Amino acid sequence: EPEVTQTPSHQVTQMGQEVILRCVPISNHLYFYWYRQILGQKVEFLVSFYNNEISEKSEIFDDQFSVERPDGSNFTLKIRSTKLEDSAMYFCASANEGLRNEQFFGPGTRLTVL
Amino acid sequence: DQQVKQNSPSLSVQEGRISILNCDYTNSMFDYFLWYKKYPAEGPTFLISISSIKDKNEDGRFTVFLNKSAKHLSLHIVPSQPGDSAVYFCAASEGYGNKLVFGAGTILRVKS
């Protein structure tokens, strides 16, 4: 069964450093998303991407964040200058046309900012 | 942001009995509602969804009921199995393909 994959599973970085989180969505999917879950809090939306552009972003997704789909298969989230409060589980998701409107989530990348 | 609320942090049920998980929402523009299951160290896994034009959707042991006038939905699992023990998230979206807004989750424990 096709699945969304994410690398790395755990990333530790120093405050102020840049990180790139990588995702490989399901191959025929058209919609792509990043969410995050800070420990003990809700899963919260960051950004959605469709037709090679951002379709929506949350107020969390400020100028420090960017997304790319560089080669038609990978979907990346870059944080330019990490802050302590960026420590969270980051989930990539993808979706396709269909009746159920479900988004398929990857296993997540745990980002720890020291 | 409290647009989607799951007021029960946890639920404990005996194996074979029914599990009922509840969810309330405030945004009347939501038109898709989904339930996800999540195990520790894994991403959310889609279970079942319902659009606002329906009031019930069933898939095997899982049934979702939607009461639009009360802005309430519930997930019924019958019969409950120990493998169902996980965190269950209710989520909603405005329009197809748009962002999901999640509830805080309910931890379900099914005792054998």
Chain B residues with CB-CB distance to A102 below 8 A: 34, 46, 49
**For position A12, what pLDDT does the model report?**
98
Cα separation, B39 vs B45, in Å, equals 9
Identity of the residue in B100, B101, B103 whose CB atom sits nearest the CB atom of A103: B100
Q: What pLDDT score was predicted for residue A98?
A: 73
Give the CATH H-level superfamily of domain B4-111: Immunoglobulins (2.60.40.10)
B100 touches chain A (CB under 8 A): yes
CA distance A94 to A2: 11
Nearest CB partner across the interface for A56, out of B32, B96, B98: B98
pLDDT in tens, A67-110: 999 887 899 999 999 999 999 999 999 998 776 679 999 999 99
Closest-CA distance of chain B to residue A73, Å: 19
Three-state DSSP at A7 gives: strand
- The predicted pLDDT at position A99 comes to 64
Contact A102 B49 (CB under 8 A): yes
Q: Do A35 and B103 touch (CB under 8 A)?
A: no
**Is the backbone of residue A52 left (phi > 0), alpha (psi -120 to 50) or beta?**
left
> What are B24-38's pLDDT values in tens digits?
999 999 999 999 999
pLDDT of residue B1: 59
A40 confidence band (pLDDT: 50, 70, 90) = confident
**pLDDT tops 90 at residue B71:** yes
Kindly tell me if the per-residue pLDDT of B20 is higher than 80.
yes
State yes or no: cis peptide before B44, omega within 30 of 0.
Answer: no
CA distance B13 to chain A (A): 23
**Dihedral-angle region of residue B67 (phi above 0 means left; psi in -120 to 50 means alpha; beta otherwise):** beta
CATH superfamily of A5-96+103-113: Immunoglobulins (2.60.40.10)
Identify whether the C-beta of residue A90 lies closer than 8 Å to the C-beta of residue A35: yes
pLDDT at A35 over 70: yes
Contact call for residues B21 and B110 (beta carbons, < 8 A): no
Q: How far apart are CA A60 and CA A91, in angstroms?
A: 15
Higher pLDDT, A72 or B73: B73
Give the β-pairing of B10-14 and B106-111. parallel
| Residue A59 touches chain B, beta carbons under 8 Å | no
Q: Per-domain residue ranges for chain B?
A: 4-111
* Residues of chain B neighbouring A95 (CB-CB closer than 8 A): 97
